[in-house]
Every structure is written in structure tokens, then in C-alpha cells.
């Protein structure tokens, strides 16, 4: 194993979404991974309570996935998918479409969640234009929404810091209110009872801009990055019906909720609401190779298929769309999900995981707890005058002193273990959080 890197060697890499100077003073270095665990450079074993960044749903370095990647790399390292193709990309697309709700029959591949947002929004705008409704260009997102960092993602996204630094944003956008309200929903387990009416705000937005100017509404069925906000009961159903009424496309961003996080292949299935476009990434390869994509309703796809034989139907795509190694990793990952019944496993562990996290209610500094599927968040009371500090210090303490890795966003800790988690892992992660809360 490599020895510790010197300060000089740490200098070049500018880490994303990280306070770099602080990180480089005492790096949280991950050198190896296996199943539910990371190992640092000294071999210290750390429980992965966040599936990496919500992606390693099958657990780490799973042999069937590793073998498929090695085989693909040795067989077909790269093949273009502009005007050419290769078998694994078609197999992956068909298998992903087979997991999705009926009608979402086509897959446009990307390499990340951010590219998936750009792609979905561009398909939505182009589809309206192809049908002679070219004024439908505006995107409606939601406060506290995260759709990655591409131009469509930060336009539709609802996180101030991700937007304010970047001047004129790419797409014109407006925003629904966030679905979270602590006074009404504190410590709810699963979908909150309160909040369906917040979907009616879409009617006001439509009245303001007019439906003829709106291309799509994009929401995470469960907002992940801003702290696990499950949709209020009835909320997604209302959004669906208002979108349909006004001819607005509904996009679900399932980058986090896809591939079993909520106990079903996609959240659309769990909530019984089918969008017109559905973005995914992360869990599609269990994080092992970058890959993302957009599932597209068949009527949208068909609209693009009406031109002459020699003409490109959609002026969009990435060099690595459907990359052979990513496609092979996706197929192997889907095998693991199926063979080990991991989506059902998540469903079966949900109640235990929920009890575990809610057992932290009443611990020092705990302001709220939310959970659904194998995702949970704990809001902490911020320290006076230093928002985010308590969460950050707690995350570091858990990593260095308690051997648990979790995500932090401001003063919110988030937990989303690989779907192979055992009850003992749940006990360990929340037991150690309880100890940590006592001292922070
Ligand atoms: N949509 C959603 C819903 C996401 O959660 C993206 C799009 C963007 O994906 P890429 O692959 O471009 O990063 C995401 C990414 C966190 C965290 O701590 C979440 C994400 C990424 C990094 C950290 O919650 N989600």
C-alpha cells in the first residue's frame, strides 16, 4: 500500500465541493474498498454509511462487476456510438428500460448525473419544438433541488451557493417551493402526511409564465443532497396531473433514488407515478465506472424518428455515451442486483434502518430526523454564528475516531449504506453516531 503522501503531492488536485486547504492538512484518504468498507492507507477499516456518494449500491469491488470491467477493457476498450454501436450498450439500455415503468422504453446514455440533467432538459425543449411548440423553453425546478452542476442542473437546481457564483445561468427557470417544513413534519418516518398542497404552487407558476412557455418540471422524487426530503403523501401524484393538464413534461431525477435506494428499481415504481423522462447515474454501475442516462417515454422518442434516413434525429451526445466498459459494468451490476435481490433487501431492511436512525431523537443537538428506503438524514442545531461547523466536525470525528464514513451537507448528516448492509452495520453506524453526538 502507498505510504502517506507529502504536502507537495497533495497540492495539484483541486477537490470538488471540498474545503481544500483544510482537507490537505489532514486528508481523509481512502485507499481500498471491499463490500461495506473502505480502508485507509494504513489499513484502517471504515464502515461506508453512504455507499461512497450514494452510488455503490451493490457494495464495493464486487467480483462479478470487477471481472466484467476487466474483460471489457481487454476486449473492446472504446467504440464510438455516434453512427456506430457495440453490443453491450444495447444490452444495458434494454435491461435498464426493462426495470423502468412501462412506457419509459428508450435510454440516452451520458456519463454522469449532471450530463443526464442537461440531456433530459434538452430532449424536453427539442421535443416541444419538434411538435411546433418552440416557445416551451422554461424549466421549473424546486427549492432545495439538486440536479448536478451542468448548466441545466444549476438553472433548475434550488441550492443558492451552486447558482450565485455563476452569473447568467443556462436555461430560464422558476422554482416550486421545497416540500420540507419542520414545524409540520419533524421526525416523520417515511412520507410526511403534510405538504401535498405544495404541488398546487405549480398552478401559480403556470399562471405567471403561461404553459406555452414551459417545457418541463424537474424534481427529485426524494430530494437527496439537501438532506433526504421524502415527498409528502399525494404530492408527486398532484405534480403529475398538473403537468399532464398543461402539456408540461415531468422529469424525475432518480440519480440517487434509482437502482434500489428506496426498495424498488426506481422511485417512480414505489410512488406509483410515472414521469415522461427519468434521469439516472450512480447506482447503474454501483459507482464502479462513470455512467448516467435518461430514460425516455416512447412517444417522445418516436417524435424524433420521423426524419429522412440520412439525417441525425437529435443533435446531442457525448464521446463516451454508452462506453463499452461502463456498459459492461452496468450489465454486471444489474446481474448482482437481480441475483442477490438487493432492491427487496433494501425494502426489507427499511423499517429496521428507520428505527435505528429515529432512536437518535432526543440526543444532544438533534433537530430533526427523516428517512425513507435506505436513506436517512439527521439535522443538527447549528453552532452559534458558525453554520455548518457542527456537521463538518461531526463528520470528521466519525471518520477519524469512529471508523464510519457518512455525508455531510451543512449541519445535516446523511446515511445511505450499500444495499448489502446487514442489521449489524445499521447498529454500528447509528450506535457510533449516538456516541459521537454525546461529545459534539
Ligand atoms: N442529480 C441528483 C439528484 C444528484 O444527487 C446529480 C444529479 C449529479 O450527478 P453527478 O454524477 O454529475 O455528480 C446528483 C449528484 C451528496 C452528493 O452528498 C450528492 C451528489 C453528488 C455528490 C454529493 O449528497 N449527487
Domains of the chain with bracketed CATH: 7-58+341-439 (3.90.1150.10), 65-339 (3.40.640.10)
The cell numbers describing 50, all together, are 453512504
pLDDT value for 2? 47
Provide mean pLDDT across the span 27-47: 97
Pocket test residue of 48, 50, 53 for ligand 1, highest count of atoms within 8 A of CB: 53
C-beta of 285 in contact with ligand 1 (< 6 A): no
**In this structure, are residues 267 and 258 in contact, taking their beta carbons and an 8 Å threshold?**
yes
| Calpha distance 44→56 (Å, rounded) | 20
| Calpha distance 89→72 (Å, rounded) | 12
C-beta of 50 in contact with ligand 1 (< 6 A): no
Q: DSSP labels for 87-117?
A: HHHHHHHHHHHHHSPTTEEEEEEESSHHHHH
Q: Which of the residue ranges 4-18, 173-187, 333-347 would you say has the lowest mean pLDDT?
A: 4-18
C-beta of 252 in contact with ligand 1 (< 6 A): no
Task: Give nearest CA residue, ligand 1 atom 15.
Answer: 148
Ligand 1 center to 270 CA (angstroms):
21
Residues contacting residue 3 through CB under 8 Å, at least 6 positions apart: 41
Ligand 1 center to 167 CA (angstroms):
22
| Calpha distance 284→395 (Å, rounded) | 27
**In this structure, are residues 216 and 246 in contact, taking their beta carbons and an 8 Å threshold?**
no
Task: Give nearest CA residue, ligand 1 atom 21.
Answer: 53
Ligand 1 center to 131 CA (angstroms):
32
Ligand 1 center to 114 CA (angstroms):
8
170 confidence band (pLDDT: 50, 70, 90): confident
| Calpha distance 296→168 (Å, rounded) | 29
Q: DSSP labels for 240-300?
A: HHHHHHHT-EEEEE-TTTTTTTTSSSSHHHHHT---SEEEE-GGGGTTSS--EEEEEEHHH
**In this structure, are residues 177 and 201 in contact, taking their beta carbons and an 8 Å threshold?**
yes
pLDDT value for 7? 72
Ligand 1 center to 259 CA (angstroms):
14
Ligand 1 center to 224 CA (angstroms):
8
Ligand 1 center to 140 CA (angstroms):
19
Q: How far is CA 112 from the centre of its chain?
A: 10
Task: Give nearest CA residue, ligand 1 atom 19.
Answer: 225
Rounded (10°) CA dihedral 306, 310, 315, 319: 130
* pLDDT, tens only, 198-245: 999 999 999 999 999 999 999 999 999 999 999 999 999 999 999 999
Provide mean pLDDT across the span 136-160: 95
> Residue holding cell 431525477?
253
* pLDDT, tens only, 325-369: 999 999 999 999 999 999 999 999 999 999 999 999 999 999 999
Over 90: is that where the pLDDT of 293 sits?
Answer: yes
- What's the pTM value of the predicted model, to 2 decimals? 0.97
Q: Which residues of 61-100 are buried (b: 16+ CB within 10 A; e: fewer)?
A: ebebbeebbeebeeebeeeebeeeebebbeebbebbbebb
* pLDDT, tens only, 388-412: 999 999 999 999 999 999 999 999 9
Provide mean pLDDT across the span 20-25: 96
pLDDT value for 3? 57
In the chain, what's the furthest Cα-to-Cα distance? 68
Task: Give nearest CA residue, ligand 1 atom 10.
Answer: 113
C-beta of 146 in contact with ligand 1 (< 6 A): yes
Amino acid at each position: 500500500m502507498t505510504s502517506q503522501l507529502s504536502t507537495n503531492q497533495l497540492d495539484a488536485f483541486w477537490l470538488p465541493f471540498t474545503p481544500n486547504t483544510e482537507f490537505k492538512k489532514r486528508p481523509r484518504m481512502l485507499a481500498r474498498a471491499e463490500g461495506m468498507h473502505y480502508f485507509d492507507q494504513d489499513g484502517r477499516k471504515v464502515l461506508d454509511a453512504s455507499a461512497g456518494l450514494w452510488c455503490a449500491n451493490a457494495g464495493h469491488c464486487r467480483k462479478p462487476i470487477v471481472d466484467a470491467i476487466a474483460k471489457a477493457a481487454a476486449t473492446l476498450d472504446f467504440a464510438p456510438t455516434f453512427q456506430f454501436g457495440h453490443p453491450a450498450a444495447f444490452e444495458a439500455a434494454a435491461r435498464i428500460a426493462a426495470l423502468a415503468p412501462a412506457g419509459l422504453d428508450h435510454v440516452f446514455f451520458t456519463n454522469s448525473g449532471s450530463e443526464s440533467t442537461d440531456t433530459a432538459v434538452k430532449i424536453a425543449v427539442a421535443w416541444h419544438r419538434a411538435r411546433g411548440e418552440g416557445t416551451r423553453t422554461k424549466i421549473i425546478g424546486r427549492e432545495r433541488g439538486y440536479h448536478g452542476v451542468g448548466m441545466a442542473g444549476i438553472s433548475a437546481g434550488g441550492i443558492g451557493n451552486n447558482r450565485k457564483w455563476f452569473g447568467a445561468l443556462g436555461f430560464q427557470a422558476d422554482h416550486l417551493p421545497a416540500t420540507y417544513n419542520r414545524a409540520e413534519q419533524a421526525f416523520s418516518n417515511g412520507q410526511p402526511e403534510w405538504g401535498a398542497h405544495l404541488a398546487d404552487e405549480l398552478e401559480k407558476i403556470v399562471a405567471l409564465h403561461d404553459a406555452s412557455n414551459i417545457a418541463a418540471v424537474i424534481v427529485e422524487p426524494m430530494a437527496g443532497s439537501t438532506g433526504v426530503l421524502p415527498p409528502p403523501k399525494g404530492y408527486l401524484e398532484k405534480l403529475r396531473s398538473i403537468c399532464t393538464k398543461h402539456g408540461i413534461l415531468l422529469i424525475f431525477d432518480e440519480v440517487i433514488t434509482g437502482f434500489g435506494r428506496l426498495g424498488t428499481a426506481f422511485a417512480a415504481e414505489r410512488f406509483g407515478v410515472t414521469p415522461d423522462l427519468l434521469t439516472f447515474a450512480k447506482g447503474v454501475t454501483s459507482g464502479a465506472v462513470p455512467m448516467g442516462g435518461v430514460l425516455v417515454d416512447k412517444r417522445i422518442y418516436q417524435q424524433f424518428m420521423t426524419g429522412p434516413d440520412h439525417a441525425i434525429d437529435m443533435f446531442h451526445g457525448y464521446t463516451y455515451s454508452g462506453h463499452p466498459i461502463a456498459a459492461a459494468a452496468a450489465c454486471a451490476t444489474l446481474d448482482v442486483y437481480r441475483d442477490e435481490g438487493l432492491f427487496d433487501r433494501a425494502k426489507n431492511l427499511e423499517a429496521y434502518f428507520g428505527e435505528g436512525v429515529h432512536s437518535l431523537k432526543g440526543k444532544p443537538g438533534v433537530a430533526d430526523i427523516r428517512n425513507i428506503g435506505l436513506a436517512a438524514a439527521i439535522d443538527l442545531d447549528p453552532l452559534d454564528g458558525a453554520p455548518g461547523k457542527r456537521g463538518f466536525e461531526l463528520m470528521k470525528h466519525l471518520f477519524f475516531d469512529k471508523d464510519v464514513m457518512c455525508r455531510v451537507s451543512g449541519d445535516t448528516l446523511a446515511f445511505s449504506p450499500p444495499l448489502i448492509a446487514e442489521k449489524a452495520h445499521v447498529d454500528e453506524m447509528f450506535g457510533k453516531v449516538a456516541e459521537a453526538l454525546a461529545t459534539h
